[in-house]
Structure 1
Amino acid sequence: MSFRSTILKAWFSQRERAIDRFRRHPLEVQERMLRRLLRRGRRTEFGERYGLGRVHTVGQFQSAVETFDYDTFKPFIERMMEGVRNVTAPGRVELFARSSGTTSDRSKYIPVTRESLWWNHTLGMRDVATVYAANYPATRVFEGKTLTLGGSCVAERGNLVGDLSALLIHETTFWSGWFRAPRTETAIIPDFWQKADAICRECTGERITAFAGVPSWNLALMRRVLEYTGKRHLLEVWPHLEMFAHGGVEFKPYRRSFEELIPSDRMHYMETYNASEGFFALADDPRRDDMLLMLDYGTFYEFRGDDGAVVPLEGVEAGKAYTLLITSNNGLWRYEIGDRVEFTATDPYRIRFAGRTRQYINVFGEELIVDNADRALVGACEATGAVVGEYTVAPCYMSLRERGAHEWIVEFEREPASRERFAEELDRCLRAVNSDYDAKRRTTLERQRVTVVERGRFLDWMRLRGKNKVPRLVNDRRVAEDVLQVKGEK
């Protein structure tokens, strides 16, 4: 066993015990997280305004502090970005993760404290390794490096601002070079294609055993690697490749493309839930399709049900979806991050990502959500042999002479033999998974319209608009029209 493996085994053993502890005692661990956060925040401006020094229980906390979204919490963030100390977290916050805005702003700026960097995001990434090693004891993944496709960051008003991935790479350089490729200078190159070419030059000769990140950008990078090397698939470039830790979007639409790029039964795909606001969950059991909610990362969780009531962890029910609120060591308090999660189990607490709160289409009463769309797309692909790389859906409004419809703008990795049959199967699957959609198809909705764009269109759109993911469902036509006109801007 190598020296590096010996060190990692000792760490894994310690963390396995900690993970098992919060599996068995989830409520006690969450109460301890809240008490720690209250102590940490009571002498901040926020703590003094809301009397956190007098708060000792979950009920008192919920009574004393209102809930926030980005628009209502933004004044605190702006003061932190101006350099004011002790606003909602102790001391000066100098790191801000910039993420795509789903509010009135084009971008959101999420504070990242040093504590959250190490005891939330970085610990989460280390736990990915911990859980993976427990599930696959014979793994040799740690004998090589993980290819991490980061974003970019810049100095702004005395702060470091950028993609969370870039902040993590920038701030953890002294140890992560043991395990990660490419070099920091390469990883944070702003232009994606320049970065991809630099990675090809630097990493195709490395022993890469894993990679991590958002599926769409990694798929584009892997294609460039094959173009650069002239190889047929990635195992000819990196024969020891065995793991992809992915997150950010639903993986099912991408899975077949990755399986074609990496034709190996030894390849494992591991889902993570690592948002700009925090690392929240990871897939700890390869036999399941859900994730373990991580309870000891300095985050106190609350959940808003469809009835509007906000409950702590002990109030949730399996089989129900909730809007996620967090109080965290990054300085966010009772903050609604804009995500919905579905609980699949409560012993231990397991979740599935159920989409963004603002990603849906309900123009005609059809109440289409991302989970419906992803499931229908998988069904249509299985029935027709198609592989879809990216897609977005928008409404087509009713007129005096036409019923309403949905327009699916689709980028195929592999075309179906018949686009007409693909559209028929997509419609059939949508009607099977969503009874409201089925009812409207009988009255006000025509079958969806499928608009096919060339490969790379969505990647160009993300690059030009500064996005790292494609909105799947939008309740108006702004994104759809923007995607359709991108080709003329390049």
Structure 2
Amino acid sequence: MSIKAFFAKQFAKKIYEKTQKWANNPIETQEHVFKDLIRQAKDTQFGKDHNFNNIKSFSDFAKNVPIRDYEGLKSYVEKIKKGEPDVLWKGKPIYFAKTSGTTSGAKYIPLTKESMPFHIQAARNAILHYIHETGNSSFVSGKMIFLQGSPILEEKNGIKLGRLSGIVAHFVPKYLQKNRMPSWETNCIEDWETKVDVIVEETFNKDMTVISGIPSWVQMYFEKLKQKGGKPVGEIFKNFNLFIYGGVNFEPYRAKFENLIGRKVDSIELFPASEGFFAYQDSQTEKGMLLLLNAGIFYEFIKADEFFTENPKRYTIGEVELGINYVLIISTNAGLWGYNIGDTVQFTSLKPYRVIVSGRIKHYISAFGEHVIGKEVEEALKEAMEGTDIRVNEFTVAPQITPKEGLPYHEWLIEFENEPENLEAFSLKIDDAMRKQNVYYDDLIVGNVLRKLIITKVSKNGFQDYMKSIGKLGGQNKIPRLSNDRDIADKLR
């Protein structure tokens, strides 16, 4: 065992014990975070506008601070961009994480000196929990890679601006910098396809032990590695045993990854976003990710099926239940207040509080009142593939409301690696799994409002070509699992 691996085990034990203290006192931990956030922001413009001086409880907060998305906070963000201090949080942010996808263009998410350390600690602690549970620390001596955006930053009125993954690249601990790949110069390449080609060349003969990134883009890296080496990734990197991912559910990719690698490897799921690092997988045996209750974020939850009603009930951590689909609402030490990040979660455990990401509140299909969510389509595909050699590269689902003939249906657009011998039988398996999960969908099939789903095959690299065509190839970008319209489906067809 190397010295680095030995000390990693000792550090892992210390962090595990520290985690247990707050995880075993969840309500008190969140109350402390809530009071600290209000205290520190009471003299900001937002705090004055929303009566923070008189907020003594969560009920006071809920009365004074409505639920908002980015558009609801945009007027405050614009003031920060102009250089004003003490707007959403005391002082000025040290960074803006720039993301896309809003109705009015790019989002500028503030990152403060108080919030930034939690982004770094959470990723580190996820690995340390894995070491503590498994006893495996040998990988810390090998090479590690995170497929990420460019670390080149712009500046706007004294605030640095870039993609979150590029910003995080500036915070790699010194003890990992010798192990980290690719090189800084390669990370700065903007064109994704060129970047992956260079990463393949840089890493091909290295002792890669940990690989991290969004599954769809890591898959591209693995395919190019296998093409260059003529053998599975697990033979090219004999000591590669840990895959770290976030952003999307790994299950639809798992069979393809095991084929590309040539064997199974352990994995750690993360739940990071520009708005905060919310959870990580703390156990290889328990389902879900540990919700980070002590990370400068106060959480609220709204039941997804009540979200679009007038004044839906806002729940705190002590009020949530297992298996319910909640919209995740946050208030943070970066100055986001009552903020809807757009993700939905379900709790898999209440002792400690663990969650899975079930989808996006805007990514659903409810063209006929069925309200199908991301978790359901992913579970249905996984169930249909079990026990087969079918492998899927990527997929998305959209309603077909006005077919040329027959009843409307849900169209599944799938790019197969290994196709089913009988596509119709495979589609029936998925449909049966969907009907078991979603009673509204089942009712529509039984009532002859919808016919059973139809699969449309997408040509090889069709999803990559689509993402490239809209300028979102690589980085943190990903294909929505669901759309309530046909914008993506029609372009893929």
TM-score per shorter chain, which class? Answer: over 0.9
Aligned match of 1:487: none
User: Unaligned regions of 5+ residues in structure 1, if any?
Assistant: 485-490
Shift of 1:445: 1.1
Q: 1:315 to 1:393 in 2, by over 3 A?
A: same
Root-mean-square deviation (CA, aligned residues, Å) is 2.0
Shift of 1:171: 4.4
Aligned match of 1:333: 337
Contact kept? 2:153, 2:167, Cα under 8 Å: no
In structure 1, distance between residues paired with 2:333 and 2:6: 31
Aligned match of 2:149: 151
1:404 aligned onto 2:394? no
Which piece of structure 1 moves more, 248-257 or 42-51? 42-51
Shift of 1:400: 8.7
1:31 aligned onto 2:31? yes
3-state SS in 1 of match to 2:114: helix
3-state SS in 1 of match to 2:122: helix
In structure 1, distance between residues paired with 2:18 and 2:59: 27
Q: What are the Cα deviations for residues 206-230 of structure 1, in whole angstroms up to 9, with x where unaligned?
A: 22111111100010011112223x2
Q: What are the Cα deviations for residues 317-355 of structure 1, in whole angstroms up to 9, with x where unaligned?
A: 122221111111221111111111111221111111111
Q: What amino acid is aligned across from residue 333 of structure 2 in structure 1?
A: N
Shift of 1:387: 0.9
In structure 2, distance between residues paired with 1:72 and 1:132: 39
In structure 2, distance between residues paired with 1:141 and 1:322: 36
1:402-481 equivalences under 5 Å are: 402-442=406-446, 443-467=448-472, 468-481=477-490
1:302-381 equivalences under 5 Å are: 302-305=300-303, 306-307=305-306, 308-381=312-385
1:58-457 equivalences under 5 Å are: 58-101=58-101, 103-118=102-117, 120-152=118-150, 154-155=153-154, 157-158=156-157, 159-172=159-172, 176-228=176-228, 230-265=229-264, 267-305=265-303, 306-307=305-306, 308-382=312-386, 384-398=388-402, 402-442=406-446, 443-457=448-462
3-state SS in 2 of match to 1:393: strand
Shift of 1:177: 1.3
Q: What are the Cα deviations for residues 15-42 of structure 1, in whole angstroms up to 9, with x where unaligned?
A: 2122100121111111111122122212
3-state SS in 2 of match to 1:326: strand
TM, length-normalised to structure 1:
0.92
Shift of 1:427: 2.0
In structure 2, distance between residues paired with 1:106 and 1:250: 26
Q: What are the Cα deviations for residues 166-197 of structure 1, in whole angstroms up to 9, with x where unaligned?
A: 11113447554144211222123211111112
Say how many residue pairs are matched. Answer: 480
Q: What are the Cα deviations for residues 300-321 of structure 1, in whole angstroms up to 9, with x where unaligned?
A: 1111124420021111112222
Q: 1:466 to 1:96 in 2, by over 3 A?
A: farther
Which piece of structure 1 moves more, 447-456 or 107-116? 107-116
Shift of 1:394: 1.2
3-state SS in 1 of match to 2:56: coil
Shift of 1:275: 1.6
Q: 1:146 to 1:113 in 2, by over 3 A?
A: same
Contact kept? 1:222, 1:234, Cα under 8 Å: yes
3-state SS in 2 of match to 1:385: coil
Contact kept? 1:81, 1:94, Cα under 8 Å: no
Contact kept? 1:173, 1:184, Cα under 8 Å: no
Q: 1:338 to 1:384 in 2, by over 3 A?
A: same
Q: 1:57 to 1:176 in 2, by over 3 A?
A: farther
Q: What amino acid is aligned across from residue 67 of structure 2 in structure 1?
A: T
Q: What are the Cα deviations for residues 406-453 of structure 1, in whole angstroms up to 9, with x where unaligned?
A: 111111121112222222222222222222212212312122221111
3-state SS in 1 of match to 2:433: helix
Shift of 1:154: 4.3
Aligned match of 2:309: none
In structure 1, distance between residues paired with 2:405 and 2:220: 42
In structure 2, distance between residues paired with 1:52 and 1:473: 39
Shift of 1:126: 0.8
In structure 2, distance between residues paired with 1:259 and 1:142: 22
Aligned match of 2:57: 57
In structure 2, distance between residues paired with 1:138 and 1:404: 52
Q: What amino acid is aligned across from residue 59 of structure 1 in structure 2?
A: S
In structure 1, distance between residues paired with 2:404 and 2:426: 29
Which piece of structure 1 moves more, 217-226 or 154-163? 154-163
In structure 2, distance between residues paired with 1:104 and 1:465: 15
Which piece of structure 1 moves more, 23-32 or 106-115? 106-115
Contact kept? 1:231, 1:237, Cα under 8 Å: no
In structure 2, distance between residues paired with 1:310 and 1:459: 39
In structure 1, distance between residues paired with 2:107 and 2:437: 33
Shift of 1:357: 0.3
Q: What are the Cα deviations for residues 247-289 of structure 1, in whole angstroms up to 9, with x where unaligned?
A: 1011110001111122335x10111111221111111121122
Q: What amino acid is aligned across from residue 131 of structure 2 in structure 1?
A: A
Contact kept? 1:192, 1:463, Cα under 8 Å: no
How many percent identity over aligned positions?
A: 34
Which piece of structure 1 moves more, 38-47 or 334-343? 38-47
Aligned match of 1:19: 19
3-state SS in 2 of match to 1:472: coil
Aligned match of 1:488: none
